[in-house]
Amino acid sequence: LNNWQVVDQHHLLKLFTFPDFKSALAFVNQIGVLAEEENHHPNINFTWGKVEVSIWTHKIEGLHENDFIFASKIDAITT
Amino acid sequence: LNNWQVVDQHHLLKLFTFPDFKSALAFVNQIGVLAEEENHHPNINFTWGKVEVSIWTHKIEGLHENDFIFASKIDAITT
């Protein structure tokens, strides 16, 4: 994983930056497709040029192997 | 305006709820269209079934009349 932070031993967090609002929103939609495919739904906090993604497993209120796999798939979108 | 909170005299905040991820994301995209049309870009924090929208004017780091107008336009999307 690239630059994901483990926060409070509870979730993975990463900030992605973009040159404008449109490309940030496009990335949000790509994450949305992945989330529906995997039935794993992150928290997405975004605004002009910035998308902050948080991932955890709600059932255990913490981190599971699947969260790390999901994070790597999000990284794969951007490369 | 319907159920928007003024937070710290800095931004307007409202939580919208939805029955699933897909409809939350659809709403996010409708806000995105409006944001680009108005060249006014809110902060959107969302996850499965929830979309939290924050609006303020970056230039003044606070609230301007336009923020209230933008909030009412977001309300209009949902009705």
- Judging contacts by C-beta atoms under 8 Å, the chain B residues touching residue A46 are 43-45
- Please work out, in degrees rounded to the nearest 5, the angle formed at the alpha carbon of residue A6 by the alpha carbons of B10 and A24: 50
Q: Which residue has the tokens 């209120």?
A: A61
Give the closest of B21, B35, B47 to A21, CB-based.
B35
Give the closest of A22, A25, A47 to B43, CB-based.
A47
Contact B52, B44 (CB under 8 A): yes
DSSP string of B9-42, one letter each residue: TTEEEEEEE-SSHHHHHHHHHHHHHHHHHHT---
Give the closest of B32, B45, B48 to A25, CB-based.
B32
Task: Flag residues of chain B having pLDDT under 70.
Answer: none
- Please work out, in degrees rounded to the nearest 5, the angle formed at the alpha carbon of residue A30 by the alpha carbons of A14 and A72: 45
List, in order of start, the domains of chain A with CATH numbers.
5-78 (3.30.1360.20)
- Judging contacts by C-beta atoms under 8 Å, the chain B residues touching residue A32 are 21, 25
**Binary contact (B41, A32; C-beta < 8 A):** no
Contact B71, A56 (CB under 8 A): no
- Judging contacts by C-beta atoms under 8 Å, the chain B residues touching residue A44 are 44-47
β-strands A50-55, A5-7: how paired?
unpaired
Residue B3 has phi, psi (to 5 degrees) of 65, 20
Rounded alpha-carbon distances, angstroms, from residue B53 to A9, B26, B30, B42, B44: 27, 14, 12, 7, 5
Give the pLDDT confidence of B15-28 residue by residue, as tens digits: 999 999 999 999 99
pLDDT in tens, chain A (79 residues): 889 999 999 999 999 999 999 999 999 999 999 999 999 999 999 999 999 999 999 999 999 999 999 999 999 998 7
